[in-house]
Structure 1
């Protein structure tokens, strides 16, 4: 990628956010509404609201729970999805049940999970995030394994590759683009559930802080929490794209070679 092309992409990526911030800034500049404070006021209270102590006590635990729940969902989703995708009988047996559970919105399960795992502590929040993130990863892994190139699978069998080699080099590698699509979707779900899980009985965390600001009628501080949440989601999305870019470099090269052919 040339420097000019990289700068063009950077300008295109930042153009809309800059325009939206400018519109918000000038549209709210003369606002006297208690619930719609000027953006300048929100920016002013941001540093004092999210100081080092609050970041350590509220933001980092939320991100840690997100990381643990998301990692559990990723490992379980890929493992179960690969097993189901490789076995047509097992897939036919489980697919209706999987579709049923996928159709249930994850936020609905939050109170139920809290009843069994408790409202306080990390367990219920991690379980909520893990269950919500599991389904897109699992179902995409199943479809990725189902869509493996039959010629590649037959070649692996003809060369009698060891089961472990076949699993890692053919099955997991071949299904990784589809798994990445599910993992990207699961990450956005995980951020949402990270906040929702903290709305029930939690006194620490990013979601709990936003609710506490709202209940105390600290509206500018509440807006800073919402903005911080958006920034965290954006940063996680960029991080995921970087990891995906390098881990799926072989896939992009293969597609470019096919187009050239």
Structure 2
């Protein structure tokens, strides 16, 4: 009974907003803002009206949604590797950030969508351009949070490792990175949201498939129910990816005393 009550408390405002949207849209009869039931019906026709052999999934799922998700995960994973690796190196360096800090501050201040024309020139139209846009915009939260997390290792831990002559590889993988994980995950969540946004932006320019392409195409042909269906899909994907990453974070950081105590209190309550 308690999980049901908690679910209703968390989602009551959302469902209330949907009901208000439905009533207001039907009263206004504005073509630009269709009611949620119309959007839901359009979404079913767009993605779940395919043959039974494809689990009722339409070609748009395979030709647009899956390629877009591939670009999001591909660009995000590249950003994770670059951000964590470079952030760990700079965090352990005493003077590294003194040299590259101003450069990073300048580069992260440049809005990634403004570099789409540059990436078009460098990589032409295609997946590499989209990946470059995603990586450039989503790497900064990971990199900077990793630097802060690596630098948060206490002096006692560092002196203890030095006294025992701990190998550098063991020190980094078993002490530094675990201590930096909370801040790294904070950067991962933010960068994943940015990756989803930049995926849409990159697919609106010179693309022939993807969620962003279908969204702008629906807007250009004044198919507003389809346009809103794609927007709602982006919201669902963003929420689902964030929830999945939060579940991974809780699993990986369960060893921390504060998180373990909080979970014990929740379970006891």
TM-score range, shorter chain: over 0.9
Give the whole-Å Cα distance in 2 for the aligned partners of 1:248 and 1:109: 36
**Local SS of the residue matching 2:255:** helix
| Alignment partner, residue 153 of structure 2 | 148
Match of 2:231 among 226, 230, 233: 226
Structure 1 unmatched runs, 5+: none
Alpha-carbon displacement from aligned partner over 1:18-77 (angstroms, at most 9, x marks no partner):
111111111112332221223222222221122421111100000001001000000110
* Residue of structure 1 aligned with 2:167, choices 150, 162, 168: 162
Structure 1 partner of 2:197: 192
User: Where does residue 81 of structure 1 map in the other structure?
Assistant: 87
Which of 114, 122, 143 is the aligned partner of 2:127? 122
Residues 143/215 of structure 1: CA separation in 2 closer, same or farther (3 Å cut): same
Q: So what's the TM-score if we normalise by structure 1?
A: 0.92
- The count of corresponding residues between Structure 1 and Structure 2 is 254
- Hey, what does 1:27 align to over in structure 2? 24
Query: CA RMSD, aligned part only?
Result: 1.8
For the residue of structure 2 that corresponds to 1:202, the secondary structure is coil
- Give me the TM-score of the superposition, normalised by structure 2: 0.89
Q: Is the 8 A contact 2:215 2:227 kept in 1?
A: yes
Deviates more, 1:13-22 or 1:194-203: 13-22
1:46 has 2:43 as partner: yes
Residue in structure 2 matching 1:93, options 81, 93, 99? 99
> Is the Cα–Cα contact under 8 Å of residues 30 and 38 in structure 1 kept in the other structure?
no
Write the deviation string for residues 95-130 of structure 1: whole angstroms up to 9, x where unpaired: 1111111111222212211221112x2111111111
In structure 1, the partner of 2:244 is: 239
Tell me, yes or no, if structure 1 residue 175 matches structure 2 residue 172. no
Given that residues 253 and 259 in structure 2 are in contact (C-alpha distance below 8 angstroms), is that contact kept between their aligned partners in structure 1? no
For 2:140, the equivalent position in structure 1 comes to: 135
* 8 Å CA contact 1:45, 1:220 repeated in 2: yes
Distance (Å, rounded) in 1 between the aligned partners of 2:261 and 2:155? 21
Q: Identify unmatched segments of 5+ residues in structure 2.
A: 49-56
- Aligned to 2:251, the other structure's residue is in SS state helix
* Residue 218 of structure 2 is aligned to residue 213 of structure 1: yes
Shift in alpha-carbon separation, 1:98–1:144, aligned structure 2, 3 A: same
* Deviation by residue 1:161-187 (Cα, 9 ceiling, x = unmatched): 111110101111111111111111101
Cα distance in 2 for partners of 1:36, 1:90 equals: 52
Structure 2: how far apart are the matches of 1:16 and 1:168? 43
SS in 1 for 2:222: coil
Partner SS for 1:88: coil
